[in-house]
A and B are shown apart, each in its own frame.
Chain A
Amino acid sequence: MINWLPRYLFNFVAFVLIQVLLLNNLQLSTFMNPYIYVLFIITLPFSTPRWLLLILGFITGLTLDIFMNTLGIHASATVFMAFLRPFVLSSFSPRDGYEPGTLPVPADYGFGWFFKYAAILVTTHHLFLFFVEAFSMADFFSILWKSILSALASLIFIFIAMLFARNKSGTL
């Protein structure tokens, strides 16, 4: 476990900076706000204790909130996503479970598997995020549309990021 520490510390800093410096400056459209920092939670090892997932989700979300002045909004969405991760992983697990020493990354389980897994988590994260942000169901469909478009954009960026992650560990 201790071997993972520097690698994931690097991942954390890299994903947060890519998010706040590059992606937040893209300004594609009001309907397209990609958030790829969630990749940090998505690529954590299978053996990560579940309580640690939640704590890390909270810290990641809060860091983004501080950079973006949205106190609590990203934290709540990322904690929700971290909560769902074990359930999504177990429902997509291969017949004899995940092999020890592997990671939830395309290099280990293929792009098809990874995208099913990432798409569900990213979409729920974005839905949660945008509905909490708007805080009313008044323009339900525009927020739904925004979540779906943003999730699509995020997945495209996640795909590009994973192409750069050549080594098996899933680090950038």
Chain B
Amino acid sequence: MRNFFRFIIRYHFLLLFLLLEIISFSFIFNYNQYHRNFYLSSSNKISGFFYEQFSSVVEYFRLRKTNEELLRENSELRNQLEKTDFLSTTATRFYIDSIGSQRYRYTPAKVINNSVNKHFNYLTLNKGADDGILPDMGVISSRGLVGVVLNTSDSYSTVISLLNTRLQISARLRDTGFFGSLGWEGLNYRYATLSGIPAHASPSVGDAVVTSGYSSIFPENILIGTIDEISINQGEGFYDIRVLLSVDFKQLQYVHVVKKTGAEEQRELEKLNEDD
């Protein structure tokens, strides 16, 4: 026993080093177990507080840009309104009950922390569980898809950015309807890669890529980006498509968190098939 203690004392530096590395690597490997723990993520109170204070200073410098963006979104929404008015005069509309009619509910939120140049990029928002935000809700901006809520505390939430190599989104070509999986390669923050589009789909540069609507996270037809470059993956019969993202993540300031009413219902129902 005495030899054992002597051994520990003699090599304490090396042993402690190995112990701490083992702890760190177990954090890394068990990422899926810990990443929902909000004490260990930037949605916790302390880091949320610092990020919020800092962003409230910085936002003054961007007011002009924010105004322009709001103006643009307003006119876009006004256009949509005209279209609906036109429809309502010609088509018969019937109302189901008020809960059933709105499938998605949007909550505005401010981005208080964001990055584009890391390998795993995350955003922190200034709204949390108190505002009805829950993990697995979608996040979009006026220009398109942003990410998925990962964690929430009472007043903050962390979002996996589309610019995170761990996020894959189910995406669809708007014109032809072929769908595939979209993810970020980890290098340029303007581009993502769409894979799984079959060789007979014949996509062309400039085509819009949108959300497929199959998941319970995003509404259908949310813009993700446009096709920038197409290359055929030899031997697999699928295209590798480089997509120019419609959201400029560097300029991101305000976003909407999407709650799909009935998302839990869809997930519960789909869970029944998982064992098959």
Residues of A within 8 A of B (CB): 17, 20-21, 24-25, 27-30, 32-33, 50-51, 54-55, 57-58, 61, 65-73, 75-76, 79-80, 83, 86, 130, 132-134, 142
Contacts and interface: CB of A to CB of B under 8 A. Distances in A.
B21 A80 contact: yes
A79 B250 contact: no
A21 B42 contact: no
Contacts of B25: 72, 76
Given A51-B16, A71-B27, A75-B27, A134 B47 contact: no
Contacts of B116: 27, 30
A21 B120 CA distance: 17
Given A54-B16, A76-B24, A133-B120, 14 more contacts: A25-B115, A29-B117, A30-B186, A32-B117, A58-B20, A61-B24, A65-B27, A66-B39, A66-B40, A67-B42, A72-B25, A75-B20, A79-B17, A83-B13
Contacts of B187: 30, 142
Interface of B: 12-13, 16-17, 20-21, 23-28, 31, 34-35, 39-42, 44, 47, 50-51, 54, 58, 115-120, 122, 150, 158, 186-189, 250
Contacts, number: 102
Contact of B118 (A21, A57, A68, A72): A68
A71 B31 CA distance: 7
Contact of A132 (B23, B28, B44, B54): B28
Nearest to A132: B28
A30 B188 contact: yes
Given A27-B116, A71-B27, A71-B31, A21 B50 contact: yes
Contacts of B20: 54-55, 57-58, 75, 79
B28 A66 contact: no
Nearest to A130: B119
A75 B26 CA distance: 11
A86 B13 CA distance: 11
Given A28-B117, A54-B20, A66 B42 contact: yes
A65 B40 CA distance: 8
A142 B115 CA distance: 20
A29 to B, nearest CB: 6
B117 to A, nearest CB: 5
Q: Which of B20, B21, B35, B186 has the most CB of A within 10 A?
A: B20
A62 B17 CA distance: 15
A83 B16 CA distance: 10
B42 A79 contact: no
B273 to A, nearest CB: 31
A79 B24 contact: yes
